[in-house]
Amino acid sequence: RETARGFCSLSSFILLVQCLLCSVLVVHVNCKLVGSAQLASLALPGFQLWLTVCEGGKPRGHGQEMPLKRKSTGQGEEAEDTKPAKRVKTSDSVAESDTSKPAAASSSSSSSLPPTVAASASGDMMACTRAASNGKTSAFKVVSWNINGIRAWLKKDPLPYLKKEAPDVLCFQEIKCAKSEIPDVGLAGYHAYWSSAEKKGYAGTGLLSKTKPVKVSYGLGEEKHDNEGRVITAEYDDFYVVTSYVPNSGRGLVRLNYRKDEWDPAFRAHLKDLHSKKPVILCGDLNVSHLDIDLANPKSNKKTAGFTPEERAGFSTLVSEDFFDSFRHLYPDKKDAYTFWSAMGNARAKNVGWRLDYFVLSESLKDRMCDSVIRSDVMGSDHCPITLFLADKS
């Protein structure tokens, strides 16, 4: 028995030495490719392996169930860890208990913000430097952001940017959370409205507004379109704000026919009905790159969801019916302007992306539009936020 114990201890010691030597070798080979802060993480697996072998267990990630997080192709939808957050807001009407108080402007300088948002969150960057064609300056700001799962997004500390941006209306797509489990986003002074998919951890939209809208409605009025929480419409005194997460045609284009034959016509009808009453501001992830200039690799993506002829034609039809693409109206020739990057292949660092997020406006708002901005350096999701600046009426 004593001999067996000694042999086990000796074997464990030999295994530890081997693992440490392998880790040192890995660090030596890769030291020029990684920062010093990462060296410890390279050595850790060998030590962890020794501990788990001695304890008779398995290293984490080898045989243990991990939270579900699945990435689809290109612009596809993801499943997210559906474990609810600790702080939960069940109301679909008010985001904070003190909504009567305006959101306070942050007094911190951009140097105190996380590096991922510091460049965009300086006071100069958040302000609008353009005047509308009616000669007036911006008086109303809308931000739209596909956050790719509200719980995961909150863990990435997006609030410093949002507090600096301080939009009048903040629209979210892909919240991926049941209404009863939506966490407190931490922004005071907003009325909050949420539309969740019946399918857990999928799609969904949100709208936060400093001014309480005249009316808020959800969906398109047809059950077949409204079980995924894809549309919220907020009516204000002189326009509507519509946020939408348009269905992705999917891998293998399995939902393309539904998209072009059912969703697109119904969505256009909804927007045209609103437009007949007052101007419309449509924002969100519309899951299409309209022009060749709107994605990095148009030639190789002709049959990819988001760039099929059918999806592009649907968008062309929309903007031919008294609506316009605000960004391309102001910047018709601007290249490398994207709002989505795949998590694969270091696409964001290389800026190999797609412009999938839009502000589409009624033609009657054209003379009030000051600017339409892509906040490409703001992190927190595989999409970046976009911002619309609108002036008052003449």
Q: Which residues participate in catalysis according to the annotation?
A: 245, 285
Can you list the positions of beta strands (E) in the chain? 138-146, 169-173, 191-195, 205-209, 215-218, 231-235, 240-245, 280-285, 323-325, 340-341, 353-354, 357-362, 369-374, 386-391
The angle formed by the CA atoms of residues 34, 157 and 200, to the nearest 5 degrees, is 105
Structure tokens at 286: 């519309």
> How far is the CA of 81 from the CAs of 148, 180, 344, in angstroms?
11, 16, 19
Q: Which residues of 288-327 are buried (b: 16+ CB within 10 A; e: fewer)?
A: bbbeebbbbeeeebeebbbbbeebbebbeebbeebbbbbb
CA 167, CA 346: separation in Å to the nearest integer? 30
Give yes or no for a contact between 206 and 172, defined as CB atoms under 8 angstroms apart. yes
CA distances from 35 to 10, 24, 25, 44 (A): 35, 15, 16, 15
Query: In terms of Cα–Cα distance, which of 154, 155, 160 is closest to 106?
Result: 160
Spatial separation of the C-alpha atoms in residues 126 and 105, rounded to whole Å:
12
Q: What SS3 class is residue 326?
A: helix
